[in-house]
Amino acid sequence: MAGANYSIYSIPIYFILNFIPHTYSTLIVANGSAKNWDNANPKSTVVREKFQKRVSAPTYQRWERARAAHHNGIENFPLLIAAVILGNMAKLDAGMMNWTFASFLLLRAIYIVAYIQITDRRLSFFRSFVFNISTFQCLWIMYKAGNVYARQR
């Protein structure tokens, strides 16, 4: 099955992957009790203010980083979708597509962990490096797809 193309699966996997930091941030706020979480208005500044007063600064900062990791993943979701669709429309090599998007998912998982765990400003550049490499992978697929279409003219 060397020729099988699994790249489409990276879309739902990525979607699920990005709910890990969301779920983690919700668990931090809830702190084991549903009464600590306002699901009717979860993005309220009141919820944020109450939480900030209730927990230590490092816990609040970890919550902020988990939320930011989730938001970053959602912001980058269209780039992944476009790359997968364009790569498949251009009929790029299945092995290359599989490798590219499998490594993209791995890098994004590393990025999420790094975003949540790294508190040192100097070490945070590792997170940025991982982000840039994963983003480049999608752009590279789009470039390769563009080359296919450019040759068809």
More confident residue, 52 or 120: 120
Q: What is the reported pLDDT for 48?
A: 76
Under 8 Å between Cβ of 81 and 137: no
Contact 69, 111 (CB under 8 A): yes
pLDDT at 114 over 80: yes
| pLDDT for 54 beyond 90 | no
Q: How far is Cα 25 from Cα 30, in angstroms, rounded to an integer?
A: 9
Mean pLDDT confidence for 30-54: 68
Question: Of 43, 13, 96, which Cα lies nearest the Cα of 51?
Answer: 43
Of 24-28, 43-47, 138-142, minimum mean pLDDT range? 43-47
The C-alpha atoms of residue 59 and residue 66 are separated, in whole angstroms, by: 11
Q: What is the pLDDT of residue 1?
A: 44
Smallest CA-to-CA distance from 47 within 65, 66, 63 is with 63
Position 36 pLDDT exceeds 80: no
Q: What is the DSSP letter of 4?
A: -
pTM strictly above 0.75: yes
Lowest mean pLDDT among 30-34, 85-89, 103-107, 116-120: 30-34
Res 149: pLDDT: 92
Contact in structure between 63 and 28 (CB atoms under 8 Å): yes
pLDDT number for residue 49: 81
Residue whose entry in the numeric block shows the structure tokens 């009717």? 40
Measuring CA to CA, which residue among 10, 30, 17, 147 is closest to residue 82? 10
